[in-house]
Structure 1
Amino acid sequence: MSGQTVSADFSGHMLDLEEDEDLEVFSKNTSLADGSPVPNSPSSMINQYRLEEDTAEQQNGNTKDIFITVDDPESHVTAIETFIVYRVLTKTTRSEFDTSEYEVRRRYQDFLWLRSRLEESHPTLIIHPLPEKFVMRGMVERFNEDFIQTRRKALQRFLNKISEHPILSYCQSFKVFLTAQELTSHKKQGAGFLSRMGETMRAVANSVRGLRSRPAEFILMQEYVEAFGNKISSVDRVTQRIIREQREYLDELKQYSPTYTQWAGSEEELAEPLKSVASCVERCSKETEERIHHLSDVLLPVLHEYVLCAESLKAVMKRRDNIQAEFEVKNEALASKKVDQEALQEEVDGLADRVEQANNALKGDWSHWQNSMRTDLKSAFISTAEKNVEYYEKCLAVWESFLLSQKVEPSDDRNSGDVS
């Protein structure tokens, strides 16, 4: 069961934020950490990142051979339930598909079926999470347009993550999901209830008994997963709090502008400046609203996805441990000589192969997941930083224009009087 080891240096890639720690506000510095000057314009630094991202996207586009779109949500109402059905459009150049384009309709339960089948086929591969079945705390009610669109984007992202995976994208269940008009017959072909119950009971028994010796490389993985889950959850909570506070600030701004407008009606000499202030506040309100939308639509979904990813990783680690624990139980029974050794030896050898396959699958998928995670988070953070810079530059320009409009030039008479 030997294989390549995982690097022990996880610390360099860990989000450095304590569980209850708030984001710090850093003072502006005119030099970078290495002493080099800051670029003349923030956008010049952003463009450097954009160039790297565009190159990576171009390389990815050259190798990608499955393109999936989830759109056109429709509400279906029956006597016992109400649910949303989405259209799934697929375009592919793979030879194993009969045609190059497919169109099917799927509901959320179908996505759950696909993910469960992928987990059954590859228990130690890291499968991207689905959005929660129930509404998150603080979100709008189910079947609200915003919620439906948020879920639609998450479902499309889930399918595209699978399509980009070097192993999962070739699973028969994935092909069936994308191409079959009806899934009912395929769902009946899954493992029976008693079989699934048996697997569950063995997993519970193994988890209770525990492992005798988890390999060091998987101990490091487990520690990384726990730390990553804590850090990304903290960033997710802080972001939600920032969005909530920004919305409260926006509500106050929207009340602020009419107040200045009303005040201008009762102050003739100050009417123009007051109206200008009201206009500036209104323009800043629109920029604030756009910034909130960006945080809600770009940053928060990615952060929350990786909160769910952390839970998925923990489940994968548990399944790996269960496979090893089952092997240890059988191996100990063989060593005790209380059973038919010849029959059990064959089972132990099979379990040994299964453990090795599970370990190799997880180790191979680990770097793939880390690269994807870092790319996703980097893109979200850079986009948010760019939006923040744009927001403050626009608001600054609004108030600078107001100051320039209020600047009073001295009269020629006053200047001539001063000279005399």
Structure 2
Amino acid sequence: MTGTSSFRRAERMSGIEISEIVQLSEAAAALRAEGRDVVALSTGEPDFPTPPHVIAAAHAAAAAGQTRYTPTLGTPALRAAIAAAAGTVAGEVIVSTGAKQVLANAMLATLDPGDEVIMPAPCWTSYADIVTLAGGRPVVLPCPAAQGFKLRPEELARAITGRSRWLMLNSPSNPTGAIYSREELRALAEVLADHPQVMVLSDEIYRHLAFSPWTSMREAAPELTERLLIVDGVSKAYSMTGWRIGWGIGPAPMIRAMGAVQGQVTSGASSVSQAAALAALTGDQGLLDTRRAALRARRDRVVAALNALPGVTCAAPDGAFYAFPDITGAMERLGAESDAAFCKLVLDRAGLAIVPGRAFGLPGHARLSFAYSDADLDAGLDRLSAVLAPGPVAA
């Protein structure tokens, strides 16, 4: 049977594809399937296992019949636990299928066509695409290494217009690990005091993985509470990426609007996964300290190794589990015209998958995750060193 397909992409999908991070990870998997020896340091997924007591709680929930639909905003027990930890009430909490859905719910619930969302770059690859899908316009503000990859108050003030609807922050940051201090958050809040139409989304998914003092925007600027959405979840700190549980904490009217979106898209999050998340939040938290210490040790090894390479400079991240080195010298050394070309060359020559900085809005860098095992980190760094080793580089 022949004929012309009637498929047509919606205009809002223009330029939107699967994220470059996922594309690289899938390319690495495809090369492995072909028999290539490939090391991937491209994905933000801890190699630590989900804690045993969390898995046991999931088993118990399933065995007890907790396998049916859940309330759209989340199970009462999990919402209460999240609220208690945040010092708020359950009516200000929504549980979703991952933190990414929290972001999408918020944008779909609040943006009209052409509304602007200010986001400092480098930032997580999905932010801009989620805003675009919701009809908004991403306003990306480059924040180079010279300013610690962080937004300055005067830059925020210049970026705000009559169409500004949100400021999106991420601390600790993906991909840089940068942390906004209490004073830096206060300075941004003072700018926002003159612009009550601008809401603040504070993505704090890496808060338990801070190596330096960390403050929530909710604590630093309580006067913003009625227009502040905190995004968090269990994926990173508790090694529960596949369980797909994230949550938002915000004013009740915002949460209700986000719930209306979620109710028409996915309904409530998985019942068994919510039971597991409850166990993670209410169980022994000592494991967080142990894993954070392990990640700090990995950070120190990776940063030292990167700074020893020709053409590479890397500041130690203050949190999360990513290094974001400047590779402009290495690009020149290898004759790579862009960071994307450099990463492709490293994958082709050395079988190492890393992510170009352009994916995060700041070219000239690359992101390496140190959430991998020590063996994978050693292998990956050895491969990068071999490509950049002193002496003539093969064409």
Structure 2-normalised TM-score? 0.23
More strand by share: 2
Q: What is the TM-score normalised by the length of structure 1?
A: 0.22
Structure (1/2) with the larger helix percentage:
1
- From the CA coordinates, give the structure whose radius of gyration is larger: 1
Q: Which has the higher contact order (CA 8 A, sep 6+)?
A: 2
